[in-house]
Amino acid sequence: MSTGSISSDKIDLLIYGPVRPILENGFSDHFVVHKAETRGDLERLTPAIREKIRGIAVTDHTARVDKDSLSQLPRLELVSSFGVGYDHVDAKYAAERNIIVTNTPDVLTEEVADVAMGLLICTLREFIKADRYVRSGLWQTQNYPLSVGSLRDRKVGIVGMGRIGQAIARRLDASLVPVVYHTRNPSKDVSYKHYPDLIEMAKAVDTLMVIVPGGASTNKMVNAEVFKALGPRGVLVNVARGSVVDEAALVQALKSGTILAAGLDVFAAEPNVPDELKSMQNVVLLPHVGSASVVTRNAMNQLVIDNLKSWFSGKAPLTPVAETPFKGR
C-alpha cells in the first residue's frame, strides 16, 4: 500500500472517510491505495495523484461525496460506498459523469431489522430503565412498576417497505402485531395495507417504524403534523436517517405528551444528540448501531472491496445504485 506514490500500471484507489483497517488491507498489489480521512486530506492530495485515482472506497456516511469532491477526480470510474444508504453521495452528479456508484444492500438487512425490533420492544417495555432499577438496588425495596407500553396492543405503520422494511414486517408478523405501511408506490412484494398518505396512516396506527432513505424527498417527512396524527399513545422508532424526522418537533411532541415515547438509532447531527432528548425517560437512544456487529460489518466491508475488484477486473459492478445502473462496458 502507498499513501503517496504514483504508479503507471496499477489501479489507483482512494479510501475516503474514517479509518476502516479491513478496507485498507483488502486490496492486492494490483492496486495503489491512497487515503483521505477528511475533505482537507482529499484537497491536500497532489494534483498528480488526484489525476490518477479511478476508484473510491467510501468508508462511512459521514464522508460527504458531493460534486466538489468528485470534481477533483477527473478519471474516476467507480464510487464504492459503505452502507446501504447513500444520501452522502451525489449519485445524480456521478451519473452525469458516467461514474458508477455502488452501496452495500442485503448483507445488513436482517441485522438492521433485528435492531429495529429490539429498539421497539426496549422502548415499549422500558428495558433500559428496568436495568438501571436492578443495578441501583431499588428492586430490594419494591417490584418495578408495570410498563404502560406493550407490543400486545399495538398496530404498526412502517414508513418504507423496501428490503429492511419487509424484514421488520416479518418480525412483527411473527410477534402477531398488525402491520400497515407508507411508501410512494405500493410494493408488489407484500399484501399489507398501503397508505399513500403518511398522515392518514399515522391516524390509523399508534406506532411508526421509519426505514426510508435519507435525502431531499424524505427530509423531515415525520413532523409535528405526523406526531399529532399519531396521538398520545404514539411511539416512534427511527432506524432510517436523522434527517427524516423533524428533531425539534419530536422533542416538543415528547415533552408535551403529544406522543408517548421514541426509540432512536439515528439523529439529525450525529454524533450530537440534543440534551433535551438525553434527559428524557421516555426515549431510548442508540449511537447509529443498526448494522454495527462484527459479522455484518465484515460483510459490508467485503462488498465494498468486491465491487471495486469486480469493476477493475473488467466485470460488472455487483451492487450499483438506481441512479447509476450498469449498462455494459
Instruction: Please state the closest distance from residue 119 (CB atom) to ligand NAP, in A.
Output: 10
Q: Which stretch binds ligand NAP (CB under 6 A): 47-55, 139-147, 183-191, 299-307?
A: 183-191
Is 24 tagged catalytic?
A: no
* C-alpha to C-alpha distance for 166 and 123, rounded to whole angstroms: 21
| Closer to ligand NAP by Cβ: residue 153 or 189 | 189
Q: By Cβ distance, which residue is nearest to ligand 8YV? A: 83
Q: How many CB atoms lie within 10 A of CB 223?
A: 18
The three cell numbers locating residue 285: 437512544
| Closer to ligand NAP by Cβ: residue 55 or 83 | 83
Instruction: Please state the closest distance from residue 65 (CB atom) to ligand 8YV, in A.
Output: 12
Q: Name the residue among 263, 155, 252 with its Cα closest to residue 202.
A: 155
Instruction: Please state the closest distance from residue 121 (CB atom) to ligand NAP, in A.
Output: 17
* C-alpha to C-alpha distance for 148 and 161, rounded to whole angstroms: 28
Using CB under 6 A as the binding rule, whether residue 266 contacts ligand NAP is answered as yes
Is 270 tagged catalytic?
A: yes
Using CB under 6 A as the binding rule, whether residue 214 contacts ligand NAP is answered as yes
The three cell numbers locating residue 189: 412484494
Contacts (CB under 6 A) with ligand 8YV, residues 38-67: 60-61
Using CB under 6 A as the binding rule, whether residue 164 contacts ligand NAP is answered as yes
Q: How many CB atoms lie within 10 A of CB 192?
A: 20
Using CB under 6 A as the binding rule, whether residue 244 contacts ligand 8YV is answered as no
Using CB under 6 A as the binding rule, whether residue 109 contacts ligand 8YV is answered as no
Binding mask 123-162 toward ligand NAP (x if CB under 6 A, else -) reads -------------------------------------xxx
Is 323 tagged catalytic?
A: no
* C-alpha to C-alpha distance for 10 and 27, rounded to whole angstroms: 12
R_g of the chain, CA atoms, integer Å: 22
* Angle between helix 109-125 and 163-174 (nearest 10): 50
Using CB under 6 A as the binding rule, whether residue 114 contacts ligand 8YV is answered as no
**Alpha-carbon distances of 230 from 90, 145, 157, 224, 299, rounded to whole Å:** 34, 25, 10, 10, 37
| Closer to ligand NAP by Cβ: residue 36 or 317 | 317
Using CB under 6 A as the binding rule, whether residue 218 contacts ligand NAP is answered as yes
The three cell numbers locating residue 16: 475516503
Cβ proximity of 249 and 277 under 8 Å:
no
Q: Which of 20, 34, 182, 241 is catalytic?
A: 241
Using CB under 6 A as the binding rule, whether residue 163 contacts ligand 8YV is answered as no
Q: Which of 97, 170, 233, 288 is catalytic?
A: 288
Judged by beta carbon distances under 5 to 8 A according to partner kind, the member of ligand 8YV, ligand NAP, none in contact with residue 60 is ligand 8YV
Q: Residue type at 161?
A: M
Q: How many CB atoms lie within 10 A of CB 42?
A: 23
* C-alpha to C-alpha distance for 18 and 262, rounded to whole angstroms: 29
C-alpha 275, offset from chain centre: 22
Using CB under 6 A as the binding rule, whether residue 288 contacts ligand 8YV is answered as yes
* C-alpha to C-alpha distance for 153 and 147, rounded to whole angstroms: 13
* C-alpha to C-alpha distance for 60 and 82, rounded to whole angstroms: 6
Residue 95, SS3?
helix
* Angle between helix 109-125 and 127-135 (nearest 10): 60
Instruction: Please state the closest distance from residue 201 (CB atom) to ligand NAP, in A.
Output: 10
Contacts (CB under 6 A) with ligand 8YV, residues 183-212: none
Judged by beta carbon distances under 5 to 8 A according to partner kind, the member of ligand NAP, ligand 8YV, none in contact with residue 214 is ligand NAP
List the catalytic residues. Answer: 241, 270, 288
Q: Which residues bind ligand NAP (CB under 6 A)?
A: 84-85, 105, 108, 112, 160-165, 183-185, 211-214, 217-218, 239-241, 265-266, 288, 290-291
